[in-house]
């Protein structure tokens, strides 16, 4: 009986791929919130889903997804379920690798990964399905560590050669970049307003904007608590003038760029943005530091995503306590996960005077904290209303967006100056640009969390549609969502039995 039912569920498994994971999570989340907080019975759940905006005819499918998800999570399988699980493996194998579209690259990479495990790492061929299943189940779609390919690079690979094959056949070949650009109609490179020219920066400095006083909430460190956020929400930026009470550690104000070099390592590769050209390149940290201290700088270079949570500097910078309390990655990413924990928690930002980062939304709809240790940053902030988000999407997808100042297209863009020693929290989805008016050393971190699930989803959807690279990627975002889903499921199991008619939880 149970097997028949599981098979019935499997037929519903037509599309829970990694793209949909966040949506599934969203549904689980809504259902959970409603069941738990509003006190809805599980047989009322379809009606509730309809209330929260799931179409009547979608409701059964959504519940089905929840069931499938539940099955996915149950890796400890009972003996009598084994045949069904084998069936499940087959289904997933079929689902997992159908074509080699750019969109499907992560799935392909996963396949490569399994192949790699077979031929290079020494997993037997007949163990591969189990490995694949494991990967599928947790949507661990980009096992970059075992193929030696970064997630971002995967779509650019034309023919992949594994490390062993490289010895005889040479390196993997890459797709023709030019052709690729024409194909998609846009490049993934970072470009900014009006060619990022210094003429533009001068104009920007002299323009007036509505003051962020109207919108930014000022708190002292000890007021920014979980209770506060749960009551008021986290929909407006929060400015904290002094770091006391934030539970944050920062180096002394005497700490500077050469200390960063010492604590991160001179040979570490960093992404450096040439602000005037708005191009991105890699260099060694020591080369950047030499540039920084040189007497005549010929360029305006900006570092915005030097993530250092695995470097020695990690021990002297601690993110605000509220961030650690909220963060999905810090709370739900298992230590023994196959994939690396998303490295988004600690960034060091080194911007020289007149650096500029154009309007963007953080990857995965992440919220961000910034602390200026020395110098100053000016943020241009636009509220993520539906209307503003559509305008943003239209602007960002137009080929000439670099020539248009996005703030001109919305009715209000707030200017918020973050001075030395101050900390700013920008909520999920806020469209923002950043100007660095003087040489500045700042720290920041990205986090996704419970209080902004809907906005995170919307930002994620915008990002998917735009198909442009994020300034600061959120690696394995989807997997992080799955882990939260798993946590919610555990909570579900305690509070309710989901889909009791399938009997999945009745044992």
Ligand X SMILES: *[C@@H]1O[C@H](CO)[C@@H](O)[C@H](O)[C@H]1NC(C)=O
CA-closest candidate to residue 226, choices 242, 250, 247:
247
Dihedral, 170, 172, 175, 176 alpha carbons, nearest 10: -30
Cα distance between residue 74 and residue 16, in whole Å: 16
Which position among 145, 164, 182, 223 is part of the footprint of ligand X (CB under 6 A)? 223
Closest approach of Cβ 310 to ligand X, in Å? 23
| 361 near ligand X, rule: CB under 6 A | no
| 208 near ligand X, rule: CB under 6 A | no
Residue 45 CB coordination number (10 Å): 20
From the list 105-113, 158-166, 283-291, 380-388, the region that binds ligand X by CB under 6 A is 380-388
Which position among 411, 438, 500, 501 is part of the footprint of ligand X (CB under 6 A)? 411
Do the beta carbons of residue 256 and residue 441 sit within 8 Å?
yes
From the list 99-107, 171-179, 216-224, 247-255, the region that binds ligand X by CB under 6 A is 216-224
Closest approach of Cβ 437 to ligand X, in Å? 20
Sign of the CA dihedral 107, 62, 89, 364?
A: positive
Q: What does the per-residue mask of binding to ligand X show for 27-66, with x meaning CB under 6 A?
A: ----------------------------------------
Give the footprint of ligand X on residues 315-354 (CB under 6 A).
Answer: 326, 331
Give the footprint of ligand X on residues 467-496 (CB under 6 A).
Answer: 491
Which position among 343, 383, 415, 458 is part of the footprint of ligand X (CB under 6 A)? 383
CA-closest candidate to residue 418, choices 439, 445, 430, 436:
436
Closest approach of Cβ 226 to ligand X, in Å? 8
Closest approach of Cβ 399 to ligand X, in Å? 7
Closer residue to ligand X in complex, CB, 173/223: 223
Left (φ > 0), alpha (ψ -120 to 50) or beta: where does 395 sit? Answer: alpha
Residue 484 CB partners (closer than 8 Å, separation 6+)? 25, 29, 328, 332
From the list 190-198, 310-318, 352-360, 361-369, the region that binds ligand X by CB under 6 A is 190-198
Place of tokens 């555990």: 490
Cα distance between residue 145 and residue 245, in whole Å: 39
89-93 — which CB contacts under 8 Å span 24+ positions? 89/129, 89/130, 89/132, 89/133, 91/10, 91/13, 92/13, 92/132, 92/133, 92/136, 92/137, 93/129, 93/132, 93/133, 93/136
CA-closest candidate to residue 200, choices 412, 408, 405, 431:
405
Q: What does the angle CA 465 – CA 430 – CA 27 come to, to the nearest 5 degrees?
A: 60
Q: What does the per-residue mask of binding to ligand X show for 434-473, with x meaning CB under 6 A?
A: ----------------x-----------------------
From the list 89-97, 253-261, 349-357, 384-392, the region that binds ligand X by CB under 6 A is 384-392
From the list 8-16, 91-99, 278-286, 377-385, the region that binds ligand X by CB under 6 A is 377-385
Would you tell me which residues interact with ligand X (CB under 6 A)? 194-195, 197, 220, 222-223, 244-245, 326, 331, 382-383, 385, 387-388, 398, 400, 403-404, 410-414, 450, 491
């Amino acid at each position: 009986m149970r097997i028949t039912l599981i098979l019935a569920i499997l037929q519903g498994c037509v599309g829970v791929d990694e793209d949909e994971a966040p949506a599934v999570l969203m549904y689980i989340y809504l259902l959970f919130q409603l069941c738990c907080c509003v006190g809805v019975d599980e047989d009322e759940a379809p009606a509730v889903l309809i209330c929260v905006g799931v179409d009547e005819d979608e409701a059964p499918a959504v519940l089905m997804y929840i069931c499938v998800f539940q099955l996915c999570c149950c890796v400890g399988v009972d003996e009598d379920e084994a045949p069904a699980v084998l069936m499940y493996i087959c289904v997933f194998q079929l689902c997992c690798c159908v074509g080699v579209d750019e969109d499907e690259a992560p799935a392909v990479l996963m396949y490569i990964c399994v192949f790699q495990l077979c031929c290079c790492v020494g997993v037997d061929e007949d163990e591969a399905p189990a490995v694949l299943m494991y990967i599928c189940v947790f949507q661990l779609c980009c096992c970059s560590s075992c193929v030696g390919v970064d997630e971002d690079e995967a779509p650019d690979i034309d023919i992949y050669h594994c490390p062993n094959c490289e010895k005889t056949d040479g390196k993997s070949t890459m797709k023709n970049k030019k052709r690729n650009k024409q194909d998609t109609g846009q490049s993934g490179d970072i470009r900014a307003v009006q060619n990022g020219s210094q003429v533009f920066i001068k104009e920007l400095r002299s323009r007036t904007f509505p003051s962020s006083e109207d919108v930014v909430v000022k708190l002292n460190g000890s007021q920014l608590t979980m209770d506060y956020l749960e009551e008021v929400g986290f929909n407006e930026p929060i400015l904290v003038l002094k770091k006391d009470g934030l539970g944050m550690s920062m180096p002394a104000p005497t700490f500077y760029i050469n200390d960063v070099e010492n604590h991160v390592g001179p040979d570490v590769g960093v992404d450096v943005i040439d602000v005037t050209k708005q191009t991105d390149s890699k260099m060694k940290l020591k080369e950047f530091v030499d540039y920084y201290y040189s007497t005549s700088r010929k360029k305006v270079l900006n570092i915005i995503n030097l993530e250092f949570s695995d470097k020695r500097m990690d021990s002297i910078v601690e993110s605000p306590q509220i961030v650690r309390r909220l963060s999905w990655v810090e709370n739900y990413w298992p230590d023994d996960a196959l994939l690396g924990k998303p490295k988004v928690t600690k960034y060091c930002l080194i911007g020289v005077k007149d650096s500029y980062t154009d309007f963007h939304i953080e990857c995965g709809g992440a919220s961000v904290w910034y602390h200026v240790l020395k110098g100053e940053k000016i943020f241009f902030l636009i509220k993520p209303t539906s209307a503003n988000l559509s305008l943003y999407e239209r602007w960002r997808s137009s080929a000439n967006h670099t020539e248009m100042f996005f703030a001109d297209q919305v009715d209000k863009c707030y200017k918020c100056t973050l001075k030395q020693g101050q900390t700013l929290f920008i909520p999920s989805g806020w469209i923002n640009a950043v100007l660095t008016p003087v040489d500045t050393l700042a720290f920041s971190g990205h986090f996704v969390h419970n209080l902004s699930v809907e906005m995170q989803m919307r930002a994620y959807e915008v990002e998917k549609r735009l198909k442009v690279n994020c300034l600061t990627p959120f690696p394995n975002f989807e997997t992080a969502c799955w882990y939260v889903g798993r946590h919610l499921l555990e909570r579900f199991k305690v509070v309710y039995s989901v889909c009791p008619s399938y009997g999945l939880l009745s044992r």
